Amino acid sequence: MKYIYFIIFILAGLFIWYGYHESNSLRNNQILTIGTIEYFQGGGRANAGRTFINGTFSINGIRRNVSSVFLKSQIVVPNPEEYFVGKKFPVIYEKGNPNNCMFLITPEDFAIYNRPFPDSLRWVLKYLKN
């Protein structure tokens, strides 16, 4: 039984390290572009309380997928798809690894990556929890 706990502990540590590494890589080697939100997806049982915002962006004519996770409590409208789908938002991705990417939507997203929140996105604030 001790070995099972040890294995679980090691796997949890690896997941935490990987998440930290990916986030750090994105902060240190970031490129900003524009993407389009295409659909929202609920988190389901494994990610209860979360919403995945999915869309695409292009690099040198190659279309890439982007998915960002938000807590449902961050978005204060019942059907956010009506307000966000089809809209363009900044996407930040890692130079050399464009699969490490995310939409920048909230002021907190911009702050994490040391970017100013643009005036052109002030309209989203009324749909987000303060």
Q: Give the model confidence (pLDDT) of 39-74 as tens digits.
A: 988 765 655 677 889 999 999 999 999 999 887 778
The pTM is what?
0.75
pLDDT one-digit tens code per residue, 73-99 = 788 787 888 999 999 999 999 999 999
Cβ proximity of 107 and 39 under 8 Å = no
Residue with tokens 């986030």: 23
- What's the CATH code, domain 30-127? 2.40.50
Q: Which amino acid is at 90?
A: P
